[in-house]
Structures are given as C-alpha cells and as structure tokens.
Amino acid sequence: MVKTRICMISDTHTSTPNPPQRTDNAYRSPLPKANILLHAGDLTKVGYRVENEAMIAMLRDADAELKLVIAGNHDITLDEDYFTTVGYNRHQQPENLGEDSILISDDHIHETPQPSTEQLRSYARSIKDLWTCEAARKAGIIYLEEGIHSFTLSTGASFTVYASPYQPEFYRWAFAYERDEDRYNSDQAANPVPDFPSVDIMLTHGPPLGVLDQVPPDMNVGCEHLLRAAGRAKPRIHLFGHIHEGWGAQRGVWGESGLKLEDVPTDIEDMLENRSAFYDVSEGADNPLRFGDETLFINASVNTVRYEARNAPWVVDLELPLAAA
C-alpha cells in the first residue's frame, strides 16, 4: 500500500482561489499540494468558453501529479445533447463573449434566435477539446466521462475511479436524469457501478440519498440509486458536490442494518491556516479507514449556498494499492 494525499474540490462555478493574503478565507491560493486533485463538477456558472479557460488555468497551476475532473449540471457546454437542444438558451449567444459575458440567472432563459444544430455541436465540441487536448493532459488534467477509469501514480499507487457527472433532474440543467431512473445499478444502465472491491474512489457530481444532501426545510435530495450503488461498491472515498449547503465529510460504516454515518470534525482556525480541511485515515493515523467496511463521504462544494467561494478544500491522506510489477 502507498500513502497518498488527495485534494478535493467541487462547485467552483468559475471562482478561482482567493489571493494568498485573504487569510480570512480557507479557499485561497495556492491550492494545497497533493498527489491527486479531484474536482467533482460545476466547474463553471454556465459553461462559457472564458469560464472553462479560467478553470483549466487554475488546475494547470495546481501542485498535483494528477488532476481528475468531471462536469456538473452548470457545465452545460460539456453535455452536447443537452446544449444543442435547450441548453444554449442559457447563453446570451453560443459563442465566447470574453470578459464582458453576462451570465443568465437560474430562473431566466434568454431568448435568442436558434443557431443551427451543427453550429451548436461545433461549439460544444470545442469546449470539450479544451479539457481533452494534449496541453491539458501535459498539465496532468484528465476529463472523465461516466464510467470506470484506472490510474497509476509515479509513487506506484494504483487506483480505480467510478465517475459520473449526472444527478436527478434539477431545474432543467445539464447531465440530468429522472428520479425513477436507475443509471447505477440496473443491468440496462450504460455505465453501472461495479461491485466491491473494484472501485477505490467514486467521483460523482450529485450526492447519494441521506449523505450531506440536505436542503431547507430538512429535505434530503440525493439519489437513492446512487446510495445503493455506493453500498455495493464500498469505495474508500465518495466525493461529490452539487448541494452547496452540504459541505463537509462523514465517515460511513456499512452494516447489515444499513449505513451508519459519523460527522468528521473540522476546526475553523486550522482550515484558515492550512487552506483546507485535513483528515488522515492512512495506516499511521489514529483511526485508519477500513476498506470494505467504511467509506469516507465528502461534499467539497467550494461555494456556499449564496455562491460565496469560501468553503475549504478537503485534503485526505489514505492508502492506495501498490501497482503490480
């Protein structure tokens, strides 16, 4: 096993880390150094080219060997089918507007003459190219589509990620599915979650039901099918965002009676000093993670419910398997 440090963020919505001198804000530059950086989606506010370019620049500067990224419901230009049918209406126009871009609010769709489908597809694909081109890969940035992905670090650590940008339908945003659709467990699903011990990390935009997914007034809005899939996979870490109010971490113990959750404590002063919420579950820690019995759930939404970028990134130390010779 190889001790590995993972830095985790989500829901940046084009907010880059605050300046280093903003010591009253845990989300400030530079992002904590790690072996792996994970971003759980909602990179942008509404998927403009200039927003994607800003997020790529941020990740390029991050000190991590591997930077794994998924989209979220706000990253509308990364969901080609959605963008070309209805999503483009959330843009003033389907082209880069530069620094003068005016972002449309959630409850307003700008009316504009419909461009051709081919124009829209070309634009969406040009955005995807930003994330998948050789320059991004040279910077360690890897954009993940839904499904299974395996990696080996220079340290010899080897791990498998299940990734999915999808979440239950949410105000007609991107990467959505109806709540009664099971895209994680069904034999008919295109990319089902495999059983334990095939997955080390689950990286999804939306949360599982009942885990860091509560919105006022006391409603749990996560996905029950995703929870069942996590129970089958029992990953070491399940990272997500989407629900800004749910920022935090919980240690989950799998048992015959279901999932038992315990909050991971945080200290405001430590987070401000270290630019992160740190949790050690490696073999040298007081309480190491028991793979197969426990999962560390993390909602790493950087933005608050008021879209203020001040929630701390999460940094976790844990063991990952050593790659076979």
Residue 89 has pLDDT above 60, yes or no: yes
> pLDDT digit string (tens) for 98-152?
333 333 333 333 444 567 889 889 999 999 999 999 999 999 999 999 999 999 9
Q: What is the pLDDT of residue 324?
A: 83
| pTM of the entire predicted model | 0.93
Residue 90 has pLDDT above 90, yes or no: no
Residue 77 has pLDDT above 90, yes or no: yes
**In the chain, how long is the greatest CA-to-CA distance?**
61
The residue that leads in pLDDT, 90 or 143, is 143
Q: What is the pLDDT of residue 111?
A: 44
Q: What is the pLDDT of residue 98?
A: 38
The residue that leads in pLDDT, 185 or 103, is 185
- Strands 248-255 and 258-263 come out as antiparallel
* All domains of the chain in start order, with CATH: 2-320 (3.60.21.10)
Are 163 and 145 in contact by the 8 Å Cβ rule? The answer is yes
> pLDDT digit string (tens) for 206-231?
999 999 999 998 899 999 999 999 99
List beta partners, residue 148: 162
Q: What is the pLDDT of residue 325?
A: 62
Q: Tokens representing 233?
A: 């996979």
Residue 313 has pLDDT above 90, yes or no: yes
Residue 301's pLDDT band (cuts 50, 70, 90): very high
Q: What is the pLDDT of residue 92?
A: 55
Instruction: Give the mean model confidence (pLDDT) for residues 165-188.
Output: 93
Measured distance CA(169)–CA(298) in Å, rounded: 21
Measured distance CA(96)–CA(218) in Å, rounded: 39
Instruction: Give the mean model confidence (pLDDT) for residues 187-200.
Output: 94
Residue 290 has pLDDT above 70, yes or no: yes
Task: Note if the bond before 165 is cis, omega within 30 degrees.
Answer: no
Q: Name the CA radius of gyration of the chain, rounded.
A: 19
Residue 187's pLDDT band (cuts 50, 70, 90): confident
Name which of 90-99, 120-129, 187-196, 241-250 the model is least confident about: 90-99
If you average pLDDT over every residue of the chain, what do you get?
92
Name which of 61-65, 97-101, 122-126, 297-301 the model is least confident about: 97-101
Percent of the chain whose predicted confidence (pLDDT) is above 90: 85
Residue 268 has pLDDT above 80, yes or no: yes
Q: What is the pLDDT of residue 55?
A: 98
Secondary structure class of 59 (helix, strand, coil): helix
> 199, 182, 165: which is closest to 80 by C-alpha?
165
Instruction: Give the mean model confidence (pLDDT) for residues 248-264.
Output: 95
Residue 270's pLDDT band (cuts 50, 70, 90): very high
> 62, 113, 72: which is closest to 91 by C-alpha?
113
Q: Tokens representing 49?
A: 């080219």
The residue that leads in pLDDT, 246 or 109, is 246
